[in-house]
Structure 1
């Protein structure tokens, strides 16, 4: 399993950040790897909601179905699955002054033959973690304005 985690602060309060990040369709704005992310169902964003995500990472396009597994107070858990990988994105949001402290963790587990790519994946996903932190910070700070 490859795990990447970042903790950072933004100017936007948790009551804005949590619903924004729980709606994974917004990943097109804050996730540099996401090319498209569309909701598969309708209604309120709550556990069980799911999205079709198309990402391009290190030149490789992949499609996953993400499900909102947990939305409880300050904790969001989204799990993306396809035949070759399971991506669990856990986002914890806590108050920090007038803004929020965010801990974003992505646990990526490769399946089958794709497990051979895990060592290379760690290098690629560490860079993606840095890019995600930067882009998410910019987007979330924009919501505060």
Structure 2
């Protein structure tokens, strides 16, 4: 498992940031690699809700994820595919002066030859995630 995180402050109330993140159908608006995200399980978003998304980068693919933690305005966590890697992705939110501090932590499960490329994979994915989070910030502050 290789883990990294990115932290940023968004000039919006914590309730608004959480609501936007928890509406996973918004992911394609701020993640350049995702074309579509749809809920495939019945009911409201919460622990156990399942989603399917269509990815265009690094190659076209369909991937599934499930919400594993849902603590309104504080924490979201999902488990599923992040491109070619099984992953756990969490979003921790904290109200701060001037808005919301968002910490996004990603744990990638690397196996076989991927393990050897771990440091390179970590650097590339962390950089791409940071760019996506900057787009998220701009959308929310828009």
Q: Report the equivalent of 1:70.
A: 69
Aligned-pair Cα RMSD in Å: 2.1
Please give the alpha-carbon distance, in whole angstroms, between the structure 1 residues aligned to 2:10 and 2:51.
26
Q: Report the equivalent of 1:122.
A: 122
Task: Kindly indicate whether the alpha-carbon contact (under 8 Å) linking 1:2 and 1:121 is maintained by their aligned counterparts in 2.
Answer: no
Residues 1:55 and 1:3: Cα distance change in structure 2 (over 3 Å): farther
Moved more, 110-119 or 26-35: 110-119
Unaligned runs of 5+ in 1: none
1:87 aligns with 2:87: yes
Task: Kindly indicate whether the alpha-carbon contact (under 8 Å) linking 2:49 and 2:66 is maintained by their aligned counterparts in 1.
Answer: yes
CA displacement 1:78-106 (0-9 Å, x = unmatched): 11138x52121110111112411110111
The 5 A counterparts of 1:35-74 are 35-57=35-57, 59-73=58-72, 74=74
CA offset at residue 113 of structure 1? 5.3
Q: Report the equivalent of 1:107.
A: 107
Q: Taking structure 1 as the reference length, what is the TM-score of the superposition? A: 0.82
Aligned residues: 140
Task: Kindly indicate whether the alpha-carbon contact (under 8 Å) linking 2:6 and 2:126 is maintained by their aligned counterparts in 1.
Answer: no
Q: Taking structure 2 as the reference length, what is the TM-score of the superposition? A: 0.84
Moved over 3 A (4+): 111-120
Please give the alpha-carbon distance, in whole angstroms, between the structure 2 residues aligned to 1:96 and 1:133.
18
Residues 1:108 and 1:61: Cα distance change in structure 2 (over 3 Å): farther
CA offset at residue 115 of structure 1? 4.1
Residues 1:61 and 1:119: Cα distance change in structure 2 (over 3 Å): farther
Task: Kindly indicate whether the alpha-carbon contact (under 8 Å) linking 2:47 and 2:69 is maintained by their aligned counterparts in 1.
Answer: yes
Please give the alpha-carbon distance, in whole angstroms, between the structure 1 residues aligned to 2:46 and 2:68.
8
